């Protein structure tokens, strides 16, 4: 049985966890002070040694990313933190920032020092005003404490840190779209190469990291690479936040070493809601192909989930029980991708527009079996043909759901409509407040 | 030109090897093999974007294959690369077909009524790459269609495939980001901001590069089918940039003009004036038959023989001079040049129907033809200095070429002027603000290198000592000079000797050997020896009774500084007018001879570089005759033949005289004048002609005129507060001759200066003030 | 509305945050929204002028992001998450319940201008599903009834406080200013974390004790 390992979330139960005092009480900013006494390259090496990989979905080794920044190039370098958490099902970074924004700032100070950045940005999605307040206040408090601004920690190093608030565009979670957005353009992905490490923000070397990745850095500096790499599995080191939601007894955040299984988390969470069974789930948000009860024992690390045909993604475990119509679920995700497609490339822009129409027909009983083949062929024409991963993501729920629940799609055709009662899936099923 | 060393890379595409320069994109390497990969967003002059995904191909490098097909328009070739296009890869083929199906899904089936039908990349590539039937049975996206995004460009968003060529052109090339992609996802659409129409001087290029019928020009809409048009390569007559054009004619009428391809000159662009200002060629009031003034003083139609006889008789025995205007072709200018010397026995010929100076006479006679500066020099320059020259207004392709380098490598541009122009703002120019008339001192202070280029405009003649300062600066620093006149015919006219001091090929009238040389080619015994008068002197000589006859080709008296004197001279002299439409000259001429417009004849211009820009007759069956042909006929009638009955003959003869390594003259410089003293309400006038204004050749094209910049008076913040006005208030600018009242715009301009457009609606400076720059005017709140 | 001198100074301070001024376009749009309630022509033209951009460039950006509104929204802008998880857990019923209750459609505003309604995408609070946002503050674990009660309280002028947010609900314009990066001093209000956020931690602590 894998044990939970609260590190990032260790003190979220303290009322003032988000304040400077609350953070300092448990050694907050000591790691930054320590790191600033190290050589920047040694900091990068330490993070490399820890095995920390990106927590935003792709799982790229964080230390290696930092190491790509050319040194001694006499150019400005930038650190940009991606706090645009918008992948459906993903809900780890926002509670983290609400409860402890300082751990992110400390991580940013360390990372900026390591990559020799004098300017750092945190790009927070715009639909979370109270998170924005907490981050803003934390930044102001860190400036007052001398942790940001000129000569931070008396080290002679300068660092400006700016919060940038988004305005409702999922695509800005894609790192190059985020950079365009931060530069004041429409948030559409950029051509790569050049990669951000060479020409990122303002065409200068830039590291873009997820909130959780950067927030993990202070603990690595404080406790060492070995401590971190002692957790997790062979290639997926350390602890991470798993976000359990949906038809479970107790949804919530579970910080555990990488490699824990859904069965273990469900056990801790009290299982599926009473009287119901697990039908399907996402391992890491809507863009990761869905799983079923057959995957309860899949180790939730980068390799384990990939081997089972999906992606670890953001570890957003959305749980759906047998009352849920998979076609309805997929339709809604498809509508999401259509709404959030940036419009730049043809396959995603036009493809998501078409996908929705086909799935709508299927859900409403107006589809045919041939539509399923058309749907799969269309997915084939979008997957790997789009400019960025958004288009790929749009096909994941469709292809994976047809793989596991083809019969249910067919049932919509033969039944000439959806055989499910949507009310039965609600949390208030059986109560009088239903529609 | 020195060869630049480039690394070459060999790749294999569909089994064929091709070696191309490093940096070449896969899609273009394939083109070299004749393999056409379908594409929409790709454009060789725009930065790669990879948006439409139509050009997906399979690529492997040194045995490692990309896991998914790649956009061939974004990937440069690499050593060891093997590319499989739709021709050899099933994956690439299916990917392309898939993208095509998606592009067509929301595209309306309105090809039968679409202007692009028949020349549409989407239509063509749908045939090559598309499915025969769409599987899309859903609801298409619809928009209101079409919408005017300016008076001359219409947008049909339903047809748009969102390749972003238009928006990228406007931003990257023209520097006018007035059209943008708006909204998001399936609702993404091209558009303008509601209060700012797409008023770019270069907007027509977006119509041309649109790969579908989404952007159309108001003037051509629903006029023709591409397969009904006869296309002729031509050259633009509007300015000295020298654009290649394509003129499309249907049943003897020019229906549209497109930018031609010339990598050395206009690349693939032109300006909206060059594209759309051709309505004058079809004008209902074109002169079609000769006219002579009868005994009662009225003009009446006459036969060609009668009119030629009257012209010849009128010219014979009088002291005559020639004013050609700045728009004639090289061959026509050569005809005028030879006609003056051979038939009229005079060197009194000038092509300048504009403000000029003795200093300019000197500059043109000694410098212009020796200048070898070219567009390539701008590409390679380490800095560009603009003197009395607003490229965006006065030679727009020069502007694009500078802007390209500004965009690409932040080329340093310095502008010496009294007012900061929109064009210079776009070029991020280092603006050196001087009072009108004091440019010369500022020029003298410039630090340039031998890799710098000085672009000096024709308005330099309006500031005493300025051309001298430019020459001195170039001599001191080794910087290259380019003299860029506004009109298309000026450089050619100089080369042809349509100026008093020069014979063809830059030969000096004053040089006996040169005269002998030319006389031999012309088969005449001698040539006149007296140095020719310039236009101003010719006019005053007429008024003084020293000249009795004028041969006038395409000039507007209102373009001269003292138009009263010009009109008086035209009234006094026996005038033979060669014109396309009735003008102020017509009213005073004794013989009016209709001539062909540029689309009705062949010929060439020399652009500012001195590069020949040849054009063929686009309207093949025109009855109109070129100036050259008519001059030849008059000369025959006068029994002093120039023997140039065809353009070909003129071109051939001119070619034998085009170069000269004999005597040349040296430039004598002029000292600048001192600063003028101004009282509180006085200012020094500064102005230039805007690209789109009330120029004769723009008449009749209202769609184009609708995008012209609005007429304003520009004064500095200091002057504005002194006279108590803010933006939009009416201001009155006047001198002893007249007054102009226009809304004021408070901008970056020298405190001593006031700027007005030279020839725009409500602002005709020469006609109103008799001056256009440097003079003292009064500026008050109206 | 006319922008005051102070507003212009604030805009300059926003621009000064960035190494290149174009980056300020998004916070400036949030800021103009805090003054005008939505994106107005005046706002766009002012931003274009401040940033030396063409107005088209500013409007191109403003139309890309869904939080910038083209027309006035209510004093309290209510968003019901109808992305898959929330929709299935009850978001769809909440949304249709609110439409009926308020008598408005998606993107509609009540006649009194108090409440506007929009279905929104995933708001990163899935462990609190179904989620309703008001002026982009969290109202967690909603039911059809609780959502109706919430909008009723808004129309009565005394909106219920968010579950994870300040002690009382700020107006749309007030919160737009916060999104422009202007600190309203209310960060310390409200809980540090909701119960689900603490679930793993609590289980871990219990396990450690046990």
Residue A112 above 60 pLDDT?
yes
| Residue of chain C nearest B198, judged by CA positions | C56
Is C153 found in the same domain as C99? yes
Cβ contact A133–C144 (<8 Å): no
Is C101 found in the same domain as C164? yes
Cβ contact C85–A89 (<8 Å): yes
Cβ contact A385–B56 (<8 Å): yes
Q: How confident is the model at residue A430 (pLDDT cuts 50, 70, 90)?
A: low
Chains that touch A (3 or more CB pairs under 8 A): B, C
Residue A3 above 60 pLDDT?
yes
| Residue of chain A nearest B136, judged by CA positions | A354
Residue A354: strand, helix, or coil: helix
Is C144 found in the same domain as C108? yes
Of B327, B326, B460, B443, nearest in space to B389 by CA: B460
User: What is the pLDDT averaged over residues B310-327?
Assistant: 95
Say how many CB pairs under 8 Å bridge A and B: 95
Is C84 found in the same domain as C51? no
Task: In whole angstroms, give the CA distance from residue C136 to residue C163.
Answer: 12
The answer to the question of residue C153 being in a domain is: yes
Q: How confident is the model at residue B649 (pLDDT cuts 50, 70, 90)?
A: very high
Mean residue pLDDT across chain B:
96
**Cβ-Cβ contacts under 8 Å for B477 (sequence gap 6 or more):** B446, B447, B448, B449, B450, B452
Answer whether B96's CB lies under 8 Å from B86's CB: yes
Phi/psi of residue B101, each to 5°?
-60, -40
Looking at the complex, report in whole angstroms how far the Cα of residue B606 sits from the nearest Cα belonging to chain A. 42
List of chain C residues whose C-beta atoms are within 8 Å of the C-beta of residue A9:
197-198, 200-201
**Number of other residues whose CB lies within 10 A of the CB of residue C68:** 23
Residue B605 above 80 pLDDT?
yes
| Residue of chain B nearest A342, judged by CA positions | B185
Residue B181: strand, helix, or coil: strand
Residue that terminates a domain, selected from C35, C64, C93: C64
Torsion over CA: B524, B529, B531, B536 (sign): negative
Is C83 found in the same domain as C165? yes
* Chosen from C44, C56, C63, C64 to mutate, greatest number of chain B CBs within 10 A: C56
Residues B188-204: pLDDT tens digits?
Answer: 999 999 999 999 999 99
Is C162 found in the same domain as C80? yes
* Chosen from B186, B188, B409 to mutate, greatest number of chain A CBs within 10 A: B186
Cβ contact C20–A183 (<8 Å): yes
Of B725, B707, B743, nearest in space to B781 by CA: B725
Residues B513-529: pLDDT tens digits?
Answer: 999 999 999 999 999 99
B285: its two tokens: 């009031």
B552: its two tokens: 């006038």
Judged by a CB distance cut-off of 8 A, whether residue C59 touches chain B is yes
Judged by a CB distance cut-off of 8 A, whether residue A374 touches chain B is yes
Torsion over CA: B455, B457, B460, B461 (sign): positive
User: What is the pLDDT averaged over residues A318-326?
Assistant: 98
- For A189, C8, C66, C149, C156, the CA distances from C114, given in Å and listed in that order, are 37, 28, 20, 14, 9
Looking at residue B479, the DSSP 8-state letter turns out to be P
| Residue of chain B nearest A192, judged by CA positions | B74
| Chain A contacts in chain B segment 101-140 (CB below 8 A) | 101-103, 105-106, 135-136, 138-139
**Cβ-Cβ contacts under 8 Å for B639 (sequence gap 6 or more):** none
| Chain A contacts in chain C segment 25-64 (CB below 8 A) | 25-27, 29-30, 51, 60-61, 64
The pTM assigned to this predicted structure is: 0.96
Cα B269 from chain centroid?
Answer: 11
Looking at the complex, report in whole angstroms how far the Cα of residue A4 sits from the nearest Cα belonging to chain C. 6
Q: How many domains does chain C have?
A: 2
* Chosen from B182, B187, B191, B193 to mutate, greatest number of chain C CBs within 10 A: B193
Residues C43-55: pLDDT tens digits?
Answer: 999 999 999 999 9
Judged by a CB distance cut-off of 8 A, whether residue B98 touches chain A is yes
Is C141 found in the same domain as C93? yes
**Cβ-Cβ contacts under 8 Å for B211 (sequence gap 6 or more):** B40, B120, B121, B122, B161, B163, B165
Judged by a CB distance cut-off of 8 A, whether residue B55 touches chain C is no
Cα B111 from chain centroid?
Answer: 34
Phi/psi of residue A267, each to 5°?
-60, -45
Residue B309 above 70 pLDDT?
yes
Task: In whole angstroms, give the CA distance from residue B608 to residue B375.
Answer: 9
Answer whether A123's CB lies under 8 Å from A164's CB: yes
Residue B160 above 80 pLDDT?
yes
The answer to the question of residue C111 being in a domain is: yes
Torsion over CA: B517, B522, B528, B531 (sign): negative
- The per-residue pLDDT for B132 is 86
List of chain A residues whose C-beta atoms are within 8 Å of the C-beta of residue C89:
246-247, 425-427
- The per-residue pLDDT for B90 is 97
Q: How confident is the model at residue A431 (pLDDT cuts 50, 70, 90)?
A: low
User: What is the pLDDT averaged over residues A172-201?
Assistant: 97
The answer to the question of residue C117 being in a domain is: yes
- The per-residue pLDDT for C209 is 62
Residue C45: strand, helix, or coil: helix
Judged by a CB distance cut-off of 8 A, whether residue C159 touches chain A is no
Residue that terminates a domain, selected from C24, C40, C64: C64
Q: How confident is the model at residue A11 (pLDDT cuts 50, 70, 90)?
A: very high
**Number of other residues whose CB lies within 10 A of the CB of residue B527:** 22
Closest partner residue to B193 among C56, C64, C66, by Cβ?
C56
Looking at the complex, report in whole angstroms how far the Cα of residue B69 sits from the nearest Cα belonging to chain C. 29
Burial of B240 (0-12, 13-18, 19+ CB in 10 A): buried
- The per-residue pLDDT for A433 is 40
Residue C81's CATH number: 3.40.30.10
Judged by a CB distance cut-off of 8 A, whether residue B727 touches chain C is no
* Beta-carbon-side half-sphere exposure of residue A90 (alpha carbons within 13 Å): 26
User: What is the pLDDT averaged over residues B289-297?
Assistant: 94
List of chain A residues whose C-beta atoms are within 8 Å of the C-beta of residue C143:
427-428, 431, 433
| Chain C contacts in chain B segment 173-232 (CB below 8 A) | 176-184, 191-196
The residue that leads in pLDDT, A71 or A20, is: A20
The answer to the question of residue C108 being in a domain is: yes
Looking at the complex, report in whole angstroms how far the Cα of residue B710 sits from the nearest Cα belonging to chain A. 30
Cα A288 from chain centroid?
Answer: 11
Residues B232-281: pLDDT tens digits?
Answer: 999 999 999 999 999 999 999 999 999 999 999 999 999 999 999 999 99
Task: In whole angstroms, give the CA distance from residue B235 to residue B217.
Answer: 20
Is C50 found in the same domain as C82? no
- The per-residue pLDDT for A434 is 37
Laid out side by side, the sheet with C137-139 consists of C115-120, C76-81, C132-134, C137-139
Is C109 found in the same domain as C43? no
Q: Is omega for the bond preceding A193 within 30 degrees of 0, making it cis?
A: yes
Residue B289 above 60 pLDDT?
yes
Residue A432 above 50 pLDDT?
no
Residue C34's CATH number: 1.10.10
Of A56, A53, A54, A84, nearest in space to A173 by CA: A84
**Number of other residues whose CB lies within 10 A of the CB of residue A277:** 12
Mean residue pLDDT across chain A:
97
Q: Which domain holds residue C44?
A: 5-64
Chains that touch B (3 or more CB pairs under 8 A): A, C
Cβ contact A136–C181 (<8 Å): yes
Q: pLDDT tens for chain C, 210 residues: list them.
A: 689 999 999 999 999 999 999 999 999 999 999 999 999 999 999 999 999 999 999 999 999 999 999 999 999 999 999 999 999 999 999 999 999 999 999 999 999 999 999 999 999 999 999 999 999 999 999 999 999 999 999 999 999 999 999 999 999 999 999 999 999 999 999 999 999 999 999 999 988 765
Cβ contact B183–C64 (<8 Å): yes
- The per-residue pLDDT for B240 is 98
The answer to the question of residue C80 being in a domain is: yes
Residue B2 above 60 pLDDT?
no
Percent residues over pLDDT 70 in chain B: 99
Residues A238-255: pLDDT tens digits?
Answer: 999 999 999 999 999 999
Is C109 found in the same domain as C46? no
- For A246, A431, C96, C106, the CA distances from A434, given in Å and listed in that order, are 18, 7, 11, 20
Residue B631 above 70 pLDDT?
yes
The answer to the question of residue C107 being in a domain is: yes
Residue with tokens 């009416």, as numbered in its chain: B730
Closest partner residue to C64 among B177, B179, B184, by Cβ?
B184
Residue that terminates a domain, selected from C40, C64, C88: C64
Judged by a CB distance cut-off of 8 A, whether residue C121 touches chain B is no
User: What is the pLDDT averaged over residues B605-618?
Assistant: 97
| Residue of chain B nearest A341, judged by CA positions | B185
- For A264, C131, C203, the CA distances from A197, given in Å and listed in that order, are 38, 37, 40
Judged by a CB distance cut-off of 8 A, whether residue B162 touches chain A is yes
Looking at the complex, report in whole angstroms how far the Cα of residue A323 sits from the nearest Cα belonging to chain C. 9
Cβ contact B188–A354 (<8 Å): no
Residues B76-132: pLDDT tens digits?
Answer: 999 999 999 999 999 999 999 999 999 999 999 999 999 999 999 999 999 999 988
Cβ contact A385–B98 (<8 Å): yes
Residues C176-203: pLDDT tens digits?
Answer: 999 999 999 999 999 999 999 999 999 9
Q: How confident is the model at residue A435 (pLDDT cuts 50, 70, 90)?
A: very low
Is C166 found in the same domain as C93? yes
The answer to the question of residue C121 being in a domain is: yes
Is C110 found in the same domain as C44? no
Residues A341-391: pLDDT tens digits?
Answer: 999 999 999 999 999 999 999 999 999 999 999 999 999 999 999 999 999
The answer to the question of residue C13 being in a domain is: yes
User: What is the pLDDT averaged over residues A380-403?
Assistant: 98
Residues B492-509: pLDDT tens digits?
Answer: 999 999 999 999 999 999
User: What is the pLDDT averaged over residues B9-32?
Assistant: 97
List of chain C residues whose C-beta atoms are within 8 Å of the C-beta of residue B182:
59-60, 63-64
């Amino acid at each position: 049985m894998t044990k939970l390992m609260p590190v990032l979330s260790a003190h979220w139960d303290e009322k003032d966890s988000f304040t400077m005092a609350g953070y300092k009480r448990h050694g907050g900013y000591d790691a930054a002070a320590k790191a600033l006494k190290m050589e920047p390259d040694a900091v990068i090496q330490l993070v490399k040694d820890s095995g920390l990989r990106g927590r935003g979905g792709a799982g790229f080794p964080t230390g290696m990313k930092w190491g790509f920044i050319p040194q001694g190039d006499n150019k400005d370098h930038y650190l940009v933190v991606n706090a645009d958490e918008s992948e459906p099902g993903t809900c780890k970074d926002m509670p983290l920032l609400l409860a402890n924004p300082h751990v992110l700032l400390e991580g940013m100070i360390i990372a900026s020092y390591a990559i020799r950045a004098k300017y750092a940005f945190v790009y927070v999605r715009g639909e979370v005003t109270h998170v924005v307040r907490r981050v803003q206040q934390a930044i102001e408090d860190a400036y007052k404490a001398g942790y940001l601004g000129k000569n931070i920690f008396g080290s002679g190093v300068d660092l400006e840190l700016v919060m940038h608030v988004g305005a409702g565009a999922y695509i800005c979670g894609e790192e190059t779209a985020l950079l365009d957005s931060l530069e004041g353009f429409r948030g559409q992905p950029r051509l790569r190469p050049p990669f951000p490490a060479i020409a990122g923000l303002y065409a200068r070397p830039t590291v873009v990291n997820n909130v959780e990745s950067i927030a993990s850095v202070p603990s690595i500096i404080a406790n060492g690479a070995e401590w971190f790499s002692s957790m997790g599995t062979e290639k997926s080191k350390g602890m991470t936040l798993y976000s359990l939601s949906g038809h479970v007894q107790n949804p919530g955040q579970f910080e555990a070493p990488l490699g824990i299984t859904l069965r273990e988390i469900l056990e801790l969470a009290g299982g599926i809601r009473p009287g119901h069974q697990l039908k399907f789930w996402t391992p890491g948000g809507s863009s990761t192909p869905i799983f079923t009860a057959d995957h309860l024992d899949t180790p939730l690390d980068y390799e384990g989930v990939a081997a089972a045909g999906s992606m670890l993604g953001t570890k957003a475990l959305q749980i759906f029980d047998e009352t849920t119509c998979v076609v309805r679920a997929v339709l809604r995700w498809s509508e999401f991708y259509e709404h959030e497609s940036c419009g730049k490339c043809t396959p995603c822009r036009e493809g998501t527009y078409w996908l929705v129409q086909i799935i709508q027909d299927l859900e409403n009983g107006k589809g045919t079996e041939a539509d399923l083949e058309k749907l799969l062929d269309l997915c084939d024409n979008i997957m790997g043909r789009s400019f960025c991963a958004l288009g790929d993501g749009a096909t994941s729920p469709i292809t994976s759901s047809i793989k596991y629940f083809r019969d249910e799609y067919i049932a919509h055709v033969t039944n000439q409509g959806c055989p499910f009662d949507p009310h039965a899936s609600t949390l208030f099923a059986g109560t009088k407040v239903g529609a | 030109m020195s060869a630049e060393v480039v690394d070459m890379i060999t790749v294999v595409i569909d089994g064929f090897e091709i070696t191309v320069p490093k940096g070449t994109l896969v899609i273009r390497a394939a083109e070299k093999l004749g393999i056409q990969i379908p594409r929409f967003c790709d454009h060789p002059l725009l930065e790669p974007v990879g948006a439409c995904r139509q050009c997906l191909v399979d690529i492997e490098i040194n045995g490692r294959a990309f896991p998914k097909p790649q956009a061939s328009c974004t990937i440069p070739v690499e050593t060891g690369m093997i590319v499989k296009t739709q021709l050899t890869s099933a994956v690439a083929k299916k990917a392309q077909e898939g993208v095509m199906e998606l592009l067509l899904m929301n595209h309306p089936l309105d090809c039968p009524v679409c202007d692009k039908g028949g020349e549409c990349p989407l239509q063509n590539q749908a045939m090559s790459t598309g499915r025969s039937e769409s599987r899309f049975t859903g609801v298409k996206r619809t928009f209101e269609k079409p919408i005017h995004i300016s008076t001359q460009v219409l947008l049909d968003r339903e047809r748009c495939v969102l390749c972003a060529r238009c928006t990228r052109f406007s931003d990257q090339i023209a520097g006018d980001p007035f059209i943008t992609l708006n909204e998001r996802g399936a609702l993404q659409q091209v558009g303008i901001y509601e209060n700012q129409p797409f008023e770019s001087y270069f907007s027509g290029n977006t119509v041309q590069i649109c790969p579908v019928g989404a952007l159309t020009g108001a003037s051509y809409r629903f006029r023709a089918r591409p397969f009904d048009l006869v296309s002729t390569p031509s050259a633009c007559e509007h300015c000295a940039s020298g654009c290649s054009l394509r003129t499309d004619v249907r049943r003897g009428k020019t229906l549209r003009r497109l930018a031609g391809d010339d990598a050395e000159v206009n690349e693939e662009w032109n300006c909206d004036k060059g594209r759309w200002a051709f309505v004058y060629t079809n004008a209902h009031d074109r002169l079609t038959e000769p006219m002579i003034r009868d005994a009662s003083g009225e003009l009446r139609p006459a036969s060609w023989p009668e009119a030629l006889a009257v012209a010849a008789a009128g010219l014979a025995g009088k002291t005559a001079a020639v004013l050609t205007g700045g728009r004639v072709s090289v061959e026509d200018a050569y005809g005028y040049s030879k006609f003056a010397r051979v038939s009229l026995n005079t060197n009194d010929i000038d092509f300048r129907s504009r403000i000029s100076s003795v200093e300019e006479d000197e500059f043109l006679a000694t410098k212009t033809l020796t200048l070898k500066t070219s567009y390539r020099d701008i590409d390679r320059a380490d800095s560009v200095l603009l003197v009395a020259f607003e490229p965006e207004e006065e030679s727009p392709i020069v502007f694009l070429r500078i802007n390209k380098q500004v965009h690409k490598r932040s080329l340093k541009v310095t502008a010496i002027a009294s007012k900061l122009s929109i064009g210079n703002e776009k070029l991020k120019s280092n603006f050196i603000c001087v009072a009108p008339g004091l440019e010369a001192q500022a020029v003298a202070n410039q630090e340039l290198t031998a890799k710098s280029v000085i672009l000096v405009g024709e308005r330099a003649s309006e500031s005493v000592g300025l051309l001298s300062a430019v020459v001195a600066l170039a001599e001191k620093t080794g910087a290259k000079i380019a003299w860029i006149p506004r009109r298309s015919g000026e450089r050619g006219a100089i080369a042809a000797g349509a100026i008093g001091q020069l014979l063809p090929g830059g030969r000096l009238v004053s040089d006996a050997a040169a005269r002998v040389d030319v006389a031999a080619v012309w088969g005449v015994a001698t040539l006149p020896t007296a140095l020719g008068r310039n236009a101003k002197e010719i006019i005053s000589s007429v008024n003084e009774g020293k000249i009795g006859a004028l041969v006038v080709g395409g000039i507007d008296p209102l373009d001269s500084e003292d138009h009263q004197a010009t009109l008086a001279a035209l009234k006094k002299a026996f005038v033979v007018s060669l014109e396309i439409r009735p003008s102020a000259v017509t009213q005073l001429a004794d013989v009016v001879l209709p001539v062909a417009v540029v689309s009705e004849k062949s010929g060439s211009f020399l652009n500012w570089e001195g590069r020949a820009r040849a054009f063929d007759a686009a309207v093949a069956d025109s009855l109109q005759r070129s100036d050259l042909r008519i001059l030849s006929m008059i000369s025959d009638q006068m029994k002093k033949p120039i023997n140039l009955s065809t353009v070909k003959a003129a071109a051939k003869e001119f070619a034998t005289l085009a170069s000269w390594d004999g005597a040349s003259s040296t430039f004598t410089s002029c000292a600048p004048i001192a600063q003028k003293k101004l009282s509180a309400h006085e200012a020094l006038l500064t102005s230039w002609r805007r690209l789109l204004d009330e120029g004769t050749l723009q008449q009749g094209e209202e769609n184009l005129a609708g995008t012209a910049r609005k007429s304003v008076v520009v004064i500095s913040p200091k002057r504005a507060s002194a006279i108590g006005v803010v933006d939009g208030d009416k201001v009155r600018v006047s001198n002893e001759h007249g007054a102009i009242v226009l809304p004021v715009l408070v901008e970056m301009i020298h405190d001593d200066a006031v700027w007005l457009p030279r020839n725009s609606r409500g602002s005709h400076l020469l006609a109103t003030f008799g001056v256009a720059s440097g003079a003292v005017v009064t500026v008050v709140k109206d | 509305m006319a922008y005051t001198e102070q507003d212009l100074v604030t805009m300059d301070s926003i621009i000064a945050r960035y190494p290149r001024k174009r980056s300020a376009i998004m916070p400036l749009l949030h800021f103009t929204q805090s003054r005008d309630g939505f994106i107005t022509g005046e706002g766009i033209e002012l931003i274009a002028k401040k940033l030396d951009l063409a107005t088209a460039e500013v409007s191109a950006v403003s139309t890309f992001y869904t939080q910038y509104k083209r027309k006035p929204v209510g004093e309290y802008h209510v968003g019901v998450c109808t992305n898959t998880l929330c929709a299935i857990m009850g978001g769809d019923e909440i949304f249709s319940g609110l439409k009926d209750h308020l008598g408005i459609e998606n993107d509609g505003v009540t006649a009194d201008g108090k409440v506007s309604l929009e279905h929104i995408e995933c708001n990163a609070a899935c462990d609190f599903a179904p989620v309703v946002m008001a002026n982009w503050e969290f109202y967690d674990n909603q039911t059809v009834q609780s959502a109706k009660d919430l909008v009723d309280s808004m129309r009565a002028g005394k909106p219920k406080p968010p579950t994870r947010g300040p002690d009382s609900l700020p107006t749309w314009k007030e919160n737009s200013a916060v999104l422009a990066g202007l600190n309203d001093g209310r960060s310390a209000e409200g809980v540090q974390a909701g119960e689900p956020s603490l679930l793993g931690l609590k289980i871990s602590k219990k396990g450690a004790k046990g």
